[in-house]
């Protein structure tokens, strides 16, 4: 398979997961799918968007995505949206987030562990 077809598959995967995230945000109001599965899917979006640009295998990519996710979660805890003056714009409140929750970090960890398996299953 060539890099162009890989990139297309990664982009389509990212679009599908983003669509699932939007569906969850708009139509699902429960105590499991929205808060936990939605957070776990975020790392898959980051993964597939990165792979769209850089399709080569990177065994450490899931670790980097996890670190980025934790940093963003910490920034939520210090109200980065308000610090940046974006607090009145709903889009940014949703995109960046506004609450720190240790359970979100656990969801990112689970998602990144799955990504680690995917990224490393054929590396020798």
DSSP secondary structure letters along 40-90: HHHHHHHHHHHHHH--S--TTHHHHHHHHHHHHHHHHHTTHHHHTT-TT-H
Report helix angle 38-53 to 3-27, nearest 10. Answer: 160
More confident residue, 122 or 49: 49
- 8 Å CB contact between 13 and 21: no
CA 114 to chain centre: 12
In the chain, pLDDT over 70 holds for what percent of residues?
Answer: 97
Question: Cα(first)–Cα(last) distance of the chain, in Å?
Answer: 19
pLDDT higher than 80, residue 1:
no
How much is the pTM? 0.88
Per-residue pLDDT of 81-119, as tens digits, reads 999 999 999 888 888 888 999 999 999 999 999 999 988
Closest residue by Cα to residue 106 from 59, 78, 73:
73
Per-residue pLDDT of 3-23, as tens digits, reads 899 999 999 999 999 999 989
Q: What is the dihedral of CA 30, 95, 47, 72, to 10 degrees?
A: -100
Domain chopping of the chain, boundaries: 3-120
- Phi then psi for 85, rounded to 5 degrees? 75, 20
* Residue-level pLDDT at 124: 53
DSSP secondary structure letters along 16-45: HHHHHHHHHHHH--SSSIIIIIHHHHHHHH
* Residue-level pLDDT at 92: 86
């Amino acid at each position: 398979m060539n890099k162009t077809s890989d990139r297309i598959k990664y982009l389509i995967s990212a679009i599908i997961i983003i669509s699932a995230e939007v569906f969850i945000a708009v139509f699902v109001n429960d105590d499991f799918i929205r808060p936990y599965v939605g957070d776990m899917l975020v790392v898959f979006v980051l993964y597939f968007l990165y792979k769209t640009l850089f399709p080569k295998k990177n065994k450490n990519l899931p670790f980097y995505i996890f670190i980025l996710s934790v940093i963003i979660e910490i920034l939520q805890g210090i109200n980065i949206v308000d610090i940046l003056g974006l607090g009145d714009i709903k889009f940014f409140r949703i995109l960046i987030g506004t609450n720190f929750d240790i359970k979100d970090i656990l969801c990112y960890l689970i998602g990144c562990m799955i990504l680690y398996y995917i990224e490393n299953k054929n590396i020798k």
